[in-house]
Structure 1
Amino acid sequence: MSVREKGDWEGWIKFFLKGIWEVSKEAVETSRHIISLESKHTRLIQEQVRSGQAVNLLELLFRYPIISTPEAKDRLHIAFGTANRLINEFVRLDILKEITTGERNRLFAYTKYLDLLRSGTDLPIQR
Structure 2
Amino acid sequence: MKGCFHKGTSWSGTNGSADTKRRRSANSAIRVHQLLQTKPLIRIPDAAAHLNLSQPTVSKALDTLGSLDIVHEVSGRKRDRVFVYERYLDILNEGTEPIPR
Per-residue CA deviation, residues 40-61 of structure 1 (Å, 9 max, x unaligned), is xxxxxxxxx8432221111111
Greater Rg by CA: 1
Whole-Å Cα distance in 2 between the matches of residues 108 and 52 of structure 1? 19
Work out which of the residue numbers 87, 106, 115 in structure 1 matches 2:81. Answer: 106
Q: Indicate the structure whose relative CO is greater, using CA pairs within 8 Å and at least 6 residues apart.
A: 2
Whole-Å Cα distance in 2 between the matches of residues 78 and 50 of structure 1? 11
Structure 1 residues without counterparts, runs of 5 or longer: 1-48
TM alignment of 1:32-43, pairs within 5 A? none
Whole-Å Cα distance in 1 between the matches of residues 39 and 62 of structure 2? 13
- Structure 2 counterpart of 1:78: 53
Aligned length: 75
**What is the percentage of aligned positions where both structures have the same residue?**
31
Given that 2:29 and 2:64 are in contact with CA atoms closer than 8 Å, whether structure 1 keeps it comes out as no
Query: RMSD between aligned alpha carbons?
Result: 1.7
Work out which of the residue numbers 31, 34, 39 in structure 2 matches 1:59. Answer: 34
Q: Give the alignment's TM-score, normalised by structure 1.
A: 0.55
Given that 2:71 and 2:83 are in contact with CA atoms closer than 8 Å, whether structure 1 keeps it comes out as yes
- Structure 1 counterpart of 2:43: 68
Moved over 4 A (4+): none
Structure 2 residues without counterparts, runs of 5 or longer: 1-23
